[in-house]
Each structure stands twice: as C-alpha cells, then as structure tokens.
C-alpha cells in the first residue's frame, strides 16, 4: 500500500514544487515506484520543473471527472524509471478538486505505487486542503524568514486538525521540516533565521536543509529536477533528504558557512 506524502508550506514561492520534483525523483531513483501529483489546478508548474510540459494530454481534473483514465493522464518520466507525473489542469480552478474525486484517484494510485507525492498549492484554501487531506506524512517547506515560518506553523495546525487522520482520530500525519533557500553566511550575520531559530518555533524534526543556490533556478528553467544535478550543493542536499526520509542517519550538510563549518567539524562543534 502506497504512502501519501504532501509537500506543503502555506506561503508561496518557498520551494514546494522544486522539493516535490526532487523528492519524487529521488524516491524513484532509489527504486520505489513513485507518482507526483500537481494539486495547483489553474497554476500548473510541476510539469515545467519536471520537463514534461510538452507531453501533457490529460490531467488530474480529467481523471477526477472521468473524462480520462489514469493510464492516459500519467506521464512517465524519461530520465528516471519508476517515476510518473500527474499534471494539474491549467484551465480549471480548485473547485474541480472534490474530496470524493481526489480520494478515488488516490485509491487507484495506491495499488500500483509505493509513494504518492502531492505537490500542494500555496494558501490554505481548497487546493491546499485537498492536497493534505489524505496525507500520511507531510514535508513542510519553509524559508528562513518569519512570514514563511508563521505560515508553516499555520499549515501544521491544519494538518493536525483538518486532515483525514485528524478527523478520524488516527495516528497524526507525520511531519518533516524542509528548510529551503538557506544561506548559512546570512544566518550567521543575523540577516536570516538560523536552523535552530526555525526548529525552536516549529518544533518538528528537520528532514533537510537545502542551501540557496543558483543551480535551483537554472535546473528549474531547464526542466530538470535539481536532485539530478548531484554535483551541486542543492542537488546533494536533496539526495541526503531522500536518504534520511528512507531511514538513513546522515548529518546535516550546508548548514554552516563554509570555513566555519570545516573548523566546527574538526573541533567537534555542532
């Protein structure tokens, strides 16, 4: 039975789609059958980041409305085996996402996949609620900045109260923090919140820190999930993140400024 993971944040522009694309790609690279669904109906982006925008025929809403079946709508990734994309509709709005429709599609996907990654739209409205409603686990993407952290806090509250698991009183949705666009030098200077600041406010386990990087922008524009750029810091950080998700115990990298980080490691500092 597949595990459903929502990638969410509350705030827009913090790296949800980038994270969804790389996370799903990473899981597939490691041999798990993975599908990533774009819940941002009307503002579809995941297909661009995944580089499959020219192959979209049918979409998520078509499947919900029984205008196409899943096999017609799922796009197979050309680079990584076991990876499929279910794109959003660009011409509809979020009202097309009915609870019954989403549940039916997820149940169908559960049969053939190990992981279902739901890329949530920003906000706390219907699209975001539907993306997280059926989730077993959540990656909460945050930038080291107060408004982003507060919005993530709000989303964590919604996960704890409005998800199916919360409504049924099941074990709560497992929460993971992804701190994206992190610049250690700026955190050291106090321009940005530090990893510890964010952890103190949100109080959920840290899954990964993704450093601010030019590569993210370049690979987005090129339609390549940044995790495939494994020589870049951001790509390597996503690789670690996926391994940690799958249970490997890896130290966090890219959390301190270069030179200092080296010295700290030498002298056993944290």
Partner 1 sequence: MLLRSLHFTGEEAPPFELKGSLFTLTVLHLFQLDRAAIERHLAEKIKQAPSFFNNTPVVIDLEGMTDSPEGLDFNGLYELLRAHGMVPVGIRNGTPMQQAAARLAGLPALPESRSANNGKKPERAEAALMRSRIVSHPIRSGQQIYAPEGDLIVLGAVSAGAEVIADGNIHVYGALRGRALAGVRGATETRIFCQSLEAELVSIAGRYRISEQIDPADRGKATQIHLMEDRLIIEHLSR
Contact residues toward partner 1 (CB under 8 A) are 150-151, 153-154, 156-158, 160-161, 172, 200-201, 203
φ, ψ of residue 83 to 5 degrees: the values are: -115, 130
CB 28 within 8 A of CB 83: yes
Beta bridge mates, 208: 178
CA pair distance 213, 234, nearest whole angstrom? 6
CB of 139 to partner 1, least distance (A): 17
CB of 10 to partner 1, least distance (A): 9
**Closest alpha carbon to 138 in 179, 176, 165:** 176
Residue closer to partner 1 by CB (options 156, 192) is 156
Residue closer to partner 1 by CB (options 114, 197) is 197
Residue closer to partner 1 by CB (options 61, 131) is 131
Residue closer to partner 1 by CB (options 7, 158) is 158
CA pair distance 235, 208, nearest whole angstrom? 12
CB of 160 to partner 1, least distance (A): 6
Residue closer to partner 1 by CB (options 43, 164) is 164
Q: How far is CA 216 from the centre of its chain?
A: 14
Quick count: other Cβ atoms within 10 Å of Cβ 84? 22
């Amino acid at each position: 039975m597949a595990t459903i993971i929502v990638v969410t944040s509350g705030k827009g522009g913090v790296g949800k789609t980038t994270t969804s694309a790389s996370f799903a790609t990473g899981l597939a690279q490691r041999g798990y059958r993975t599908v990533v669904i774009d819940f941002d109906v009307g503002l579809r982006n995941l297909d661009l980041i995944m580089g499959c925008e020219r192959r979209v025929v049918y979409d998520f809403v078509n499947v919900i409305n029984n205008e196409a079946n899943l096999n017609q709508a799922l796009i197979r990734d050309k680079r990584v085996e076991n990876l499929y994309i279910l794109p959003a509709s660009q011409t509809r709005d979020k009202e097309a996402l009915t609870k019954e429709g989403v549940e039916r599609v997820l149940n169908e996907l559960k049969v053939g996949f190990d992981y279902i990654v739901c890329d949530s739209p920003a906000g706390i409205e219907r699209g975001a609620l539907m993306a997280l409603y059926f989730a077993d686990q959540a990656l909460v993407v945050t930038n080291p900045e107060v408004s982003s952290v507060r919005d993530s806090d709000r989303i964590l509250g919604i996960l704890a109260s409005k998800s199916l698991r919360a409504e049924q009183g099941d074990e709560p949705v497992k929460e993971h923090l992804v701190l994206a666009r992190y610049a250690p030098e700026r955190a050291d200077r106090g321009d940005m919140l530090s990893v510890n600041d964010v952890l103190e406010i949100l109080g959920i386990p840290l899954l990964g820190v993704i450093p601010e990087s030019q590569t993210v922008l370049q690979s987005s524009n090129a339609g390549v999930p940044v995790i495939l750029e494994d020589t870049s810091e951001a790509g390597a950080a996503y690789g670690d993140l996926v391994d940690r998700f799958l249970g490997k115990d890896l130290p966090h990298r890219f959390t301190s400024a270069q030179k200092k980080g080296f010295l700290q490691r030498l002298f056993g500092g944290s």
